[in-house]
Amino acid sequence: MDKALQILRDRIDEIDDTILGLLNRRASIVTEVGQIKKREQAQVHAPRREQEILERLEKQNPGPFPNEAVRAVFREIMSASLALEGPLKVAYLGPPGTFTHVACLKQFGTSASAVAVNSVKDVFNEVERGRADYGVVPIENSTEGVVAHTLDLFVDSPLKITGEILQEVSHHLLSRTGVLENVKRIYSHPQPVAQCRAWLERHVPDVPIIEVYSTARAAELCRDEPEAAAIASDLAARLYGLTFVEKKIEDNPSNSTRFLIIARTAPERTGRDKTSVMFSIKDRVGALYEMLKPFAEQKLNLSKIESRPSKRKAWEYLFYVDIEGHLDDHPVKAALEALRPQCQVLKVLGSYPTAE
């Protein structure tokens, strides 16, 4: 072996040993923090503190180690540290390998106990009943729009939105052999199929598409069917032992999905927050204009507005609005106070840190 190369490797080993020692020093302090939180009955998970750590490290990072990698490494460090303070359970739309699972790992790391459930409603149930500390649910896709079922579940749920995750979504065609000519049928969820429609029509126009309830289920089926392929995530490929037939087959290269984090308690104000509300109004001329007027008067930006049938009365609608700012900010509070008398229903779904 080249002597110069060996010297460099020895230096890397020394640095790794130092990192290991520092990680264990950090873990010892985290354990003490956990004991204090337990005595004071404080919440174990502190999203605001985690965000402060990540932002501070990114700002002072001189490189060449990229900030994206800094965030990923320290997310895992914090995930492992959190597990030392106490077990953290997170419910997500399963089975393992879905894009919701990918988002869950991105936010909470691999040391959290990720619990796969069969539906978005089951995610809400797990958190409402205290069997999970948090839940991760899809809310909208940049190509296909809002996930209406998720919005509808907030109507009767006591849960709060405590965070959001923006996840770039790349769809891959996977199979056991990785050979396109062997593919006789393709499994996937309806949304990824719609997001890959142009590629599918161009490359496999005669191959039947079979819709299943999740991309992970599609990958699971392909594991036992040599002539089948799945449109799924790279995580699903690893979990189910599949090979890439073609990578990134989505029609829109900037395809992304927004996920919400739900919990029983609200997070602390961070100074860079978003507030989500839902309200219903009486059907009259100019009603929606009057509803939006308080936000304009307070110079508040609405990053999203969506309407859904209330399902309680014909032609009655619920409006879902995302407001830039926290519920404790004066402009947000003033706008909602002006709005409330005009509403049949007004419900604050949560104030939470805005995802980058």
pTM for the model stands at: 0.80
The domain tally of the chain equals: 4
Model confidence band, residue 312 (pLDDT cutoffs 50, 70, 90): low
Please name the helix (run of DSSP H) or strand (run of DSSP E) that holds residue 260, with its range, or none. strand 256-263
DSSP 8-state class, residue 196: T
Q: Is residue 251 part of a domain?
A: no
**Portion of the chain with pLDDT greater than 90, in percent:** 53
Q: Mind listing the pLDDT tens digit for each residue in 171-223?
A: 999 999 999 999 999 999 998 999 999 999 999 999 999 999 889 999 999 99
Last residue within a domain, chosen from 263, 290, 306: 263
The range of the structural domain enclosing residue 281 comes to: 273-353
Model confidence band, residue 311 (pLDDT cutoffs 50, 70, 90): low
Q: Could you count the other beta carbons within 10 Å of the beta carbon of residue 351?
A: 25
CA distance 259 to 316: 27
- Residue 1: pLDDT above 70? no
Residue 160 and residue 210 in one domain: no
Geometric angle at alpha carbon 128, from 232 and 108, rounded to 5°: 45
Contact yes or no for 124/135 (Cβ under 8 A): yes
Model confidence band, residue 298 (pLDDT cutoffs 50, 70, 90): very high
- Residue 323: pLDDT above 70? yes
- The closest alpha carbon to 346, from 294, 269, 297, belongs to 294
Beta bridge partner(s), residue 164 = 260
Residues serving a catalytic function are 257, 259
Please name the helix (run of DSSP H) or strand (run of DSSP E) that holds residue 160, with its range, or none. strand 160-168
Listing DSSP states for 204-263 in one string gives -TTSPEEE-S-HHHHHHHHTT-TTEEEEE-HHHHHHHT-EEEES---SSTT-EEEEEEEE
Residue 108 and residue 60 in one domain: no
pLDDT at 307: 84
Last residue within a domain, chosen from 38, 63, 85: 85
Question: Once rounded to an integer, what is the mean pLDDT over residues 284-311?
Answer: 85
Residue 101 and residue 56 in one domain: no
CA distance 28 to 37: 15
Question: Once rounded to an integer, what is the mean pLDDT over residues 326-353?
Answer: 92
pLDDT at 314: 60
Beta bridge partner(s), residue 211 = 188
Residue 77 and residue 100 in one domain: no
Task: Report the SS3 class of residue 136.
Answer: strand
In this structure, what CATH number is given to the domain that contains residue 128?
A: 3.40.190.10
Instruction: Return the axis-axis angle of helices 67-85 and 3-40, rounded to nearest 10°.
Output: 40
Residue 184 and residue 156 in one domain: no
Contact yes or no for 307/330 (Cβ under 8 A): no
Beta bridge partner(s), residue 113 = 89
Last residue within a domain, chosen from 215, 233, 263: 263
Contact yes or no for 123/136 (Cβ under 8 A): yes
In this structure, what CATH number is given to the domain that contains residue 79?
A: 1.20.59.10
Residue 93 and residue 80 in one domain: no
Residue 11 and residue 49 in one domain: yes
Q: Is residue 54 part of a domain?
A: yes
| Two structure tokens written together for 109 | 């790391």
| Two structure tokens written together for 96 | 């393992």
Q: Is residue 268 part of a domain?
A: no
Q: Mind listing the pLDDT tens digit for each residue in 246-264?
A: 999 999 888 889 999 999 9
- Residue 315: pLDDT above 60? no
pLDDT at 121: 94
- Residue 83: pLDDT above 70? yes
Question: Once rounded to an integer, what is the mean pLDDT over residues 160-173?
Answer: 92
| Two structure tokens written together for 10 | 């020895």
Residue 136 and residue 79 in one domain: no
Q: Could you count the other beta carbons within 10 Å of the beta carbon of residue 163?
A: 21
- Residue 234: pLDDT above 70? yes
CA distance 283 to 35: 54
Contact yes or no for 236/216 (Cβ under 8 A): yes
Residue 156 and residue 209 in one domain: no
Task: Write down the mean pLDDT value for the chain.
Answer: 89
pLDDT at 210: 96
Please name the helix (run of DSSP H) or strand (run of DSSP E) that holds residue 8, with its range, or none. helix 3-40
DSSP 8-state class, residue 267: P
Q: Mind listing the pLDDT tens digit for each residue in 102-158?
A: 999 888 888 888 999 988 999 999 999 999 999 999 998 877 778 888 988 998 899
Please compute Rg for the chain using Cα positions.
Answer: 23
pLDDT at 112: 85
In this structure, what CATH number is given to the domain that contains residue 278?
A: 3.30.70.260
| Two structure tokens written together for 309 | 């049938």
